Amino acid sequence: MSAAAQTTKEDFAALLEESFKADDHMEGGVVKGTIVAIEKDLAVIDVGLKTEGRIPLKEFSVGGEEPGVKVGDEVEVYLERIENALGEAVLSREKARREESWVRLEVSFNNNEKVSGVIFNQVKGGFTVDLDGAVAFLPRSQVDIRPVRDVTPLMHTQQPFQILKMDKRRGNIVVSRRTVLEETRAEQRSELVQSLEEGQVIEGVVKNITDYGAFVDLGGIDGLLHVTDIAWRRINHPSEVLAIGQTVKVQIIRVNHETHRISLGMKQLEADPWEGIEAKYPVNVRFTGRVTNITDYGAFVELEPGIEGLIHVSEMSWTKKNVHPGKIVSTSQEVEVMILEVDPVKRRISLGLKQTLDNPWESFAAEHAVGSMVEGEVKNKTEFGLFIGLDGDVDGMVHLSDLDWNRPGEQAIEDYNRGDMVQAQVLDVDVEKERISLGIKQAGGDPFVDAPGDVRKGAVVTCEVLDVKEAGLEVKIVDTDLVTFIRRSDLSRDRSEQRPERFAKGEKVDARVTNFDKKNRKVTVSVKALEIAEEKQAVAQYGSSDSGASLGDILGAALRARGDEDEPEAKAEAEAETEDDAGDEVKS
């Protein structure tokens, strides 16, 4: 064999080995091939090797579309293996596209750039998206800003996505359509907010309703229409006026360009009903309104749409002071009220309900003059007197000092209980302070005024013992209502007889009136004073200093003249005292 032939043989072996190495290097990578035939649903592709491979046509479709390939097209495929058991190359268009896509997607992911894809299938928890060969997962929560019930219109349509996560080892890609929409919306919001000005009137669509207001879509940005800015009149809930999806005309009240918060108003588009309110609703004039709301402190009454006034609980009733307003009026009730005060600056109107009704205190004063008699039920007992229920649902008070002429009020009040019917005299009526003063003791007459004319200072009266006490006797002057007290020292001239226990309750005893003061309502009587007076009278009538008669004889004659034969003890005591006085007189 010649040297040339040997060289050629070696070169051929080297070239063949190099060819095999090249073929081995091509496995597991993307190569270019040409479609040489289409057999049913397969494409026959020549990748420049000594064999051909077949790829299903569906791998050439994008997003479920029909494959747009034909014989002669040059395509990139993934060479898994050069030759299989059938002597064919194992090719994959899908893996080729995936390899290409992964490279591009990684660049976009690192640069935080959006990518384009097609939603082509629905899986558990979300959807699959074809990102030009790479299949990504789109969670249901990332489809739109708001939950979407029907995703059909979004499928098989090229649209932008944001890659949230990539894991090449596991082949996982997670994308979001919502992030793209939020960014777009934020840009639109910013542009829209910059174009809005306070006072501007625009149209919007009610998107949501809450207890405190409604959110209105102004074309990419929402504004809050507060419940107090919907109408001038009181609105308990926005749903009374608005409905979701309703188109409304609103005015821009405030715009915060930093936070993109917009406050809207509807009532500002109407005339302010509070203008000229003082002339429309003058003080002390009556109007009719409708109760719109009831609180613990009063009731709100609508006088006209947008104009409400408050009836404070203190202005609801003349007599019901501690009653909830809901027990006096009811919601939607038509009531007549009086204007008490109008404050256009604070937008407040104070109303009165009781002022439209007769003042029961004035009616009582007109029907019951001071000094007249009334009858009523004891409503309450307090430490300072009794409250009596009277006509017109008013109460009168009987002070402790006006319960009894002769007993302390603390003692006399124990005779009365709630529910008792009593008679009393009207002592005073104060309409402004809503007070009626009554007297029970005055209803029975004044014992000092009604006392007989013979009850005066120096007169002799008969007293009935009411009570026997250690300090003396409590007595009542017979045929009068005068009650007084005879002190122990006034029970007798003789000290040994100044003993209250000598007397019994119900016993009658004569005494002399020593003081009768109508002004100060004071009367005092004394048995001792009567004895002394009788003695002086006897001396003056039956004896003199030179008659020679003893004092005993004089007193004896005086006692017999009185017919006091049944009081021998008193006679003896009088004689003894007279003898003592006579002895003193002789000594002097």
Tens of pLDDT, residues 373-407: 999 999 999 998 999 999 888 999 999 988 887 77
* Cα–Cα distance, 128 to 249 (Å, whole number): 42
CATH architecture assignment, domain 196-269: Beta Barrel (2.40)
Statement: residue 211 has pLDDT above 60:
yes
**Residues 337, 301 contacting (CB under 8 angstroms):** yes
* Cα–Cα distance, 71 to 539 (Å, whole number): 173
The CATH homologous superfamily for domain 26-111 is Nucleic acid-binding proteins (2.40.50.140)
User: Which of 71-80, 93-102, 240-249, 257-266 has maximum average pLDDT?
Assistant: 240-249
User: Which of 269-273, 345-349, 401-405, 557-561 has maximum average pLDDT?
Assistant: 345-349
* Cα–Cα distance, 130 to 58 (Å, whole number): 14
pLDDT, position 443 = 79
Q: Residue 198 in 3-state DSSP?
A: coil
Q: Which residue has the higher pLDDT, 43 or 421?
A: 421
The CATH homologous superfamily for domain 450-588 is Nucleic acid-binding proteins (2.40.50.140)
Statement: residue 4 has pLDDT above 90:
no
Statement: residue 189 has pLDDT above 80:
no
The percent of residues in the chain predicted with pLDDT above 90, rounded, is: 30
* Cα–Cα distance, 450 to 439 (Å, whole number): 17
Q: Residue 126 corresponds to which amino acid?
A: G
**Residues 378, 417 contacting (CB under 8 angstroms):** yes
Band (pLDDT 50/70/90 cuts) for residue 286 is very high
E-strand ranges in 518-579 read: 522-526
pLDDT, position 224 = 92
The CATH homologous superfamily for domain 112-182 is Nucleic acid-binding proteins (2.40.50.140)
* Cα–Cα distance, 433 to 412 (Å, whole number): 27
- The set of residues, in sequence order, having a beta carbon less than 8 Å from that of 401 and lying 6+ positions away, is 409
Closest CA to 443 of 419, 418, 426: 426
Domains of the chain, by residue range, sit at 26-111, 112-182, 196-269, 277-356, 360-444, 450-588
Ramachandran region of residue 458, left (φ > 0), alpha (ψ -120 to 50) or beta? left
* Cα–Cα distance, 133 to 195 (Å, whole number): 42
Q: Residue 357 corresponds to which amino acid?
A: L
pLDDT, position 557 = 57
pLDDT, position 3 = 47
Token pair of 556, please? 């004896």
Q: Residue 529 corresponds to which amino acid?
A: A
Helices 568-587 and 527-542, axial angle in degrees (round to 10): 70
User: For the chain, what's the residue count?
Assistant: 588
pTM: 0.48
- The set of residues, in sequence order, having a beta carbon less than 8 Å from that of 219 and lying 6+ positions away, is 192, 204
pLDDT, position 66 = 60
157-175 residue pLDDT tens: 899 999 999 887 777 899 9
Band (pLDDT 50/70/90 cuts) for residue 570 is very low
Could you give phi then psi for residue 59, rounded to 5 degrees?
-70, -15
**Inter-CA distances, 343 with 281, 289, 355, Å:** 11, 18, 19
- Residue bearing tokens 């107090």: 228
Secondary-structure class of domain 277-356 per CATH: mainly beta
> Nearest-5° angle of CA 389, CA 393, CA 395?
40
Count Cβ neighbours within 10 Å for each residue of 482-517 and write b for 16 or more, e otherwise: bbbbbeeebbbbeeeebebeebeeeeebebbbeebe
- The set of residues, in sequence order, having a beta carbon less than 8 Å from that of 586 and lying 6+ positions away, is none
- Between strands 348-352 and 307-312, the pairing is parallel
Provide the terminal-to-terminal Cα distance of the chain, rounded to the nearest Å.
204
44-77 residue pLDDT tens: 877 776 667 777 777 776 555 666 677 777 777 7
Q: Residue 560 in 3-state DSSP?
A: helix
* Cα–Cα distance, 489 to 483 (Å, whole number): 18
Closest CA to 215 of 204, 203, 206: 206
pLDDT, position 183 = 82
Band (pLDDT 50/70/90 cuts) for residue 350 is very high
Helices 527-542 and 551-562, axial angle in degrees (round to 10): 110
**Residues 45, 60 contacting (CB under 8 angstroms):** no
CATH 2.40.50.140 fits 360-444, yes or no: yes
